[in-house]
Amino acid sequence: METPTPEVSRIQAQATPAPASTTTGPVLISKSLSAFKRPGEDDPEELIKDRYLCRGGGIMLFGGTGLGKSSLAIQLPAQFALGRGDFGIEPARPLRSLIIQSENDDGDVAEFRDGTFAGYDYSGSDINRIQESVYVYTEVNKRGRAFLYDVAEPLIAHHKPDMVWMDHALAYFNKNPSSPEDVGQFLREWLNPILAKHRCGGAILHHTPKPSEKRLEWSDRDYSYGGFGSVEWSGWARGVLSIEEVSDMVFLLRASKRGMRLKWKDANGKATCRRYIAWSRDKIFWRTPPTSELPEPKKTVPVMDREDFANFLINAHPTRMSWEEWWKAAQKSFGGPKTSDKPFRALRDSLRKDSRCYYNPKSKDWGVQPG
């Protein structure tokens, strides 16, 4: 534990308690800002390094249907039981896990387990430790408050896990997933007290909406809001992970919320919140793909100022066009077929602000003259 500086110690000594409440009910106790202490290296509250998840908190894992979220929710707990991680997600110590799931029958779970055991080539002692630390319960009937208090909490009290995994959110949430009030009640009013009472962390698997072209414009951080429904799914979570397919059997794993705490590095040693993971070709098992399997990086737009882009529009394409036609023409001239349209949109919007290009909402096209 860090020793407070003399200045902090002085402020703590001078701190005064909050005035007594004039209302009945529980006594509310606030803390002076200087009273908070940073945890030490062996913080017992930490579950996933570096404080990506602590006891009482939760993370979300977003991904489309059929991508393999359920198998990952078997594979990671198995590693965590041994104090090991994978894909840059490292436990603070060996962790016990309880997985409550609805999507897979016993045969599916057995296949996930066997793929994990074979993929990591576990020893007999490893398997014994996992058997003592990872438990799976299948619940397909109860939802909402009944699920949390009649199923989840009794199981948590019995197994005393460090982490409880719920696969998946909409199987156990029975109200409007797009309602902040409904989602907030489920997560904050009902689940949070259970996690705090039993000193465990939560991991909830959640589906993404149907594919949309708008996602092509998203930044890595935008994927924090990639789950179906209300932003409360993301707002509640201490961390958000998302899985997106990018090529045959290769996926992009994004740590879009608080991902810098995982301390991932790219091939150049720079901090990043994304990394590639892939399906195994002969078993149900997630692996880190070699460079040869990774998709080609998108080409970026060469250095180009507003005047270059404005002259391109005026001289080469003076007629009105849809944005897709305009972008493809600019793409061909400046960047190549795999260039994102995001830089072009920024230049277009800058010119529009200065009344140097115009959008017609009726015809939904663009031009250098008002239309």
What sign does the dihedral 112-118-121-122 (CA atoms) show? positive
pLDDT of residue 299: 54
- Give the span between the Cα atoms of 344 and 55, in whole angstroms: 44
- Give the span between the Cα atoms of 123 and 120, in whole angstroms: 9
The average pLDDT across 7-13 equals 53
Q: Is the pLDDT of residue 108 over 80?
A: yes
Between the ranges 17-26, 33-42, 67-76, 352-361, where is the mean pLDDT highest?
A: 67-76
Residue 21 confidence class, pLDDT cut points 50, 70, 90 = low
Q: Is the pLDDT of residue 307 over 80?
A: no
- The residues near 339 (Cβ < 8 Å, ≥ 6 apart) are 298, 299, 300, 301, 331
* Helix residue spans in 237-355 (DSSP H): 306-311, 323-334, 342-353
The average pLDDT across 138-159 equals 98
Give whole-number Cα distances, 183 to 37, 148, 224, 246, 333, in Å. Answer: 32, 13, 16, 30, 47
- Give the span between the Cα atoms of 278 and 249, in whole angstroms: 6
Q: Is the pLDDT of residue 18 over 70?
A: no
What is the length of the chain? 371
Please write the tens of the pLDDT for every residue from 32-90.
999 999 998 899 999 999 999 999 999 999 999 999 999 999 999 999 999 999 999 99
CB-based contact 200:161 (threshold 8 Å): yes
pLDDT of residue 156: 98
The average pLDDT across 118-136 equals 98
Tell me which of 188 and 325 has the higher pLDDT: 188
Give whole-number Cα distances, 66 to 19, 34, 156, 319, 370, in Å. Answer: 55, 48, 28, 45, 47
